[in-house]
Structure 1
């Protein structure tokens, strides 16, 4: 599967945090993520972005590549990333924003949704029983319909199911609910506009 977002679970090493935003341009999304205007003058590839992260002067500097598809702008994070910490601000002034974080150092991967400056709903992918935000049960009906959770919020997936199959059901639910689509080829092979981002004092 090369479209949607379910293909993320097929990667042996999902390393990219991703932010989707509806209501702003890709450039504005990059700037709201701390991007420095003009910091990267030519579109770059996935490999070039990772190489740039290794060459940056401080641990608080990262890289994002940006684009648009299906009515959403998207930003792909390289380095530590701070999409989760910036999500409410990214969504200010009526914007919708979704963040997918692989949480490589502290699994599970997480989903977060913000709208108009408010963190609406978040949960771990694979730990959907624990949800938080202004409306933590926003996706509960969809998760129940997909067979991820029971109506009481408890797990519904088979205990012996592989984590990839389990996570694919949740990503499919998020993909359908928000209409998210990021072609795998765009992420891995295309040259996309990019920014160096300045961190917010991450420790």
Structure 2
């Protein structure tokens, strides 16, 4: 059972998300928070596996809440649920440690899959969001693009597919290897590229 904490300042959105999750046998909504401060308190008390986090909230916003939740509970996975208008907050949220990014107009099935993928260690994000993040990250960097050194051929294949937003299972199918092997390659890639999470690894793939 995946323990989920819902964080959004709009009660109607939280109610909709709760109904969506509670219709699934493997998702358990353990709490709701209307702002970042409440989210931090509930995350410490309820120990959720996944926090579905809005970014723009009064008081403590989703970026600060993400950073503080992960500082106290680094095993918690934060899935940002944002809108197209939140471009200025996406990259700071990544820096804060968010594991995935979905848009609020995503189909319900995509959101449910995103929660499960985050809980399993993947980092789901829409291609739109990834492209925006990459443009911002590259634009802020004064370094020239250059290939990542010290990678094997197979690691380069995996890195490229991570950059395309594929899940571990999709990468395994594309490369005709086991999911466990994919996880091993991703762990090695994170170490070699100094990437703290999968989304940062995807950014590295695009920058390279």
Q: TM-score under structure 2 normalisation? A: 0.32
Q: Whose strand fraction is larger, Structure 1's or Structure 2's?
A: 1
